[in-house]
Amino acid sequence: MADTDIKTEDRTVRLQVAAARQEESGQGIARLSRASLSEIGALEGDVLEITGKAVTVARAVLAFEEDEGLSVIRLDGLQRGNAEVGSGDHVTVRKTDSRPAQRVVFAPAQKDMRLQGPSAALKRNFFQRPMVQGDLVATTGQQQVADIPPQLRRMFNAPAYALTQIRLNVVSTTPRGIVHIDENTEVELRETFEEAHDARGDVNYDDVGGMTDTIRQLREMVELPLRYPELFTRLGVAPPKGVLLHGPPGTGKTRLAQAVANESEAQFFSINGPEIMGSGYGESEKHLREVFEEATKAAPAIVFIDEIDSIAPKRDQVHGEAEKRLVAQLLTLMDGIDSRAHVVVIAATNRPDAIDEALRRPGRFDREIVIGVPDEKGRREILGIHTRGMPLSERVDLNELARTTHGFVGADLAALTREAAIEAVRRIMPKLDLEARTIPAEVLETIRVYREDFVEALKR
């Protein structure tokens, strides 16, 4: 197609990808230095074409001071997925422009999310935001048409709205190419999930709070070997086959494993310890074998074993024959993974002392990462993640909340923000027409989550 009205610059710059700050995730912006911008003749606010293994677009924003002088572009998890790159990779960046779209079709990018609602809200949200077909994008706050937590679903007895950031897949645009939504664009929202080309819309590093260091370690142990196997072969170092995460329940071990898989562009297979133990005679081993087989076929892949202590307890604590055989099977499977198979097993437990020592021998789970209860800074990050897209009243002070929630793990903080949102919806209930099963736009506009809603939620 002749892009006569699109002015794409010839000048390009090669930049190294780094992660965006978590609180800026989903805004569709890319931060780069003043020098990089001037190299390509761009100004803040211009549309950038960013090319990795795939092409995406973002709006240019000036780098934070500490990045000035670096040849770095900061992209969030969705954008890294859109460009099919990881942090540390290089992308080519140039200035471009977008055309108004006649039509844009969105679908939810998160698996268990169902959406319904007026496209007007979406239109407002993405007004003037550059995008291309195939991109994953996120709403930025304010009132979203969204998935509802089960509690709310019961209250409304129908799909309604939640107050959360939602991620969407740009299924198609007319015309193709780089477009933006303007007042004349027709926006369609499909109700159910459609497989995106990249799974980072589901969970990525931006969604795991208080784990900067852990993420760095896991990137080195798992993501880099899966992403650049040649490099490790060349260096003659064998990447780890197994990593053991230990920490209390609800600290984000599962979510972290999923994020690592998605960011590594690896398939994710999950085994639940207690569940597998419950299967019939011989079934458990068979199931284990099948998962490992499938993972090997689908490689690069990550096999996640939750509550591994229930599969492989210390031998002196094992009584039944069935248990013994299962431990043996797991050990055989671990030993059977070829170091070039690009399969990594991540296991989680909250009782590291309760697992069979044989599992921790070299070549098995020989790396361990402790996932602790988050400190104040971690809690602040987690609260930030779970209130992304929530219309918070100005008096909600997340720093204060982080201070006063000592001992809360990620799951507790997620529940807290969900409860606060439900409080806010309860407040507007009298204004709702429950028969109509929808929230009128003018009510939706005014909804805010107040400080008091969090106070109420804390009481539960």
- Chain residues 196-215 in contact with ligand ADP, contact rule CB under 6 A: 208-211
- Looking at beta carbons only, is 51 or 270 nearer to ligand ADP? 270
How far is C-alpha 166 from the geometric centre of its chain's CA atoms? Answer: 11
- Chain residues 218-237 in contact with ligand ADP, contact rule CB under 6 A: none
Minimum CB separation of residue 365 from ligand ADP in Å reads: 16
Nearest-angstrom CA–CA distance, 444 and 189: 18
Minimum CB separation of residue 335 from ligand ADP in Å reads: 26
**Should residue 254 be labelled a site residue for ligand ADP when binding is judged by CB under 6 A?**
yes
Contact of 345 with 241, CB cutoff 8 Å: yes
C-alpha distances in Å from residue 192, one per residue of 146, 147, 151, 153, 353: 11, 10, 20, 16, 43
Contact of 387 with 417, CB cutoff 8 Å: yes
Residue written as tokens 């706050």?
141
- Looking at beta carbons only, is 143 or 254 nearer to ligand ADP? 254
Tokens representing residue 162 in the block: 């939640």
Residue written as tokens 């973002």?
58
Nearest-angstrom CA–CA distance, 186 and 190: 13
**Should residue 273 be labelled a site residue for ligand ADP when binding is judged by CB under 6 A?**
no
Nearest-angstrom CA–CA distance, 39 and 28: 21
Residue type, 261: A
- Looking at beta carbons only, is 239 or 250 nearer to ligand ADP? 250
Minimum CB separation of residue 252 from ligand ADP in Å reads: 3
Residue written as tokens 């972290």?
256
Segment near ligand ADP (CB under 6 A), from 177-185, 244-252, 311-319, 436-444? 244-252
Minimum CB separation of residue 385 from ligand ADP in Å reads: 5
Among 414, 416, 421, 447, binds ligand ADP (CB under 6 A): 414
**Should residue 86 be labelled a site residue for ligand ADP when binding is judged by CB under 6 A?**
no
Angle between helical axes of 376-386 and 410-428 (0-180°, round to 10) = 40
**Should residue 411 be labelled a site residue for ligand ADP when binding is judged by CB under 6 A?**
yes
Phi/psi of residue 239, nearest 5 degrees: -70, 155
What secondary structure letter does DSSP report for 392? B
Segment near ligand ADP (CB under 6 A), from 22-30, 409-417, 434-442, 447-455? 409-417
Site track 154-193 with ligand ADP (rule: CB under 6 A), x = hit: ----------------------------------------
**Should residue 251 be labelled a site residue for ligand ADP when binding is judged by CB under 6 A?**
yes
- Looking at beta carbons only, is 12 or 272 nearer to ligand ADP? 272
How far is C-alpha 426 from the geometric centre of its chain's CA atoms? Answer: 29
Tokens representing residue 51 in the block: 């090319």
Segment near ligand ADP (CB under 6 A), from 221-229, 271-279, 393-401, 408-416? 408-416
Among 249, 278, 336, 440, binds ligand ADP (CB under 6 A): 249
For the chain, report the end-to-end CA distance as a whole number of angstroms.
Answer: 58
Site track 107-146 with ligand ADP (rule: CB under 6 A), x = hit: ----------------------------------------
Segment near ligand ADP (CB under 6 A), from 248-256, 326-334, 356-364, 438-446? 248-256
Tokens representing residue 28 in the block: 């569709």
Beta strands (DSSP E) in 21-132 are 29-32, 47-51, 55-62, 72-75, 90-96, 99-100, 103-108
**Should residue 349 be labelled a site residue for ligand ADP when binding is judged by CB under 6 A?**
no
**Should residue 72 be labelled a site residue for ligand ADP when binding is judged by CB under 6 A?**
no
Tokens representing residue 150 in the block: 């089960």
- What does the binding site for ligand ADP look like in residue numbers (CB under 6 A)? 208-211, 249-255, 348, 382, 385, 410-411, 414
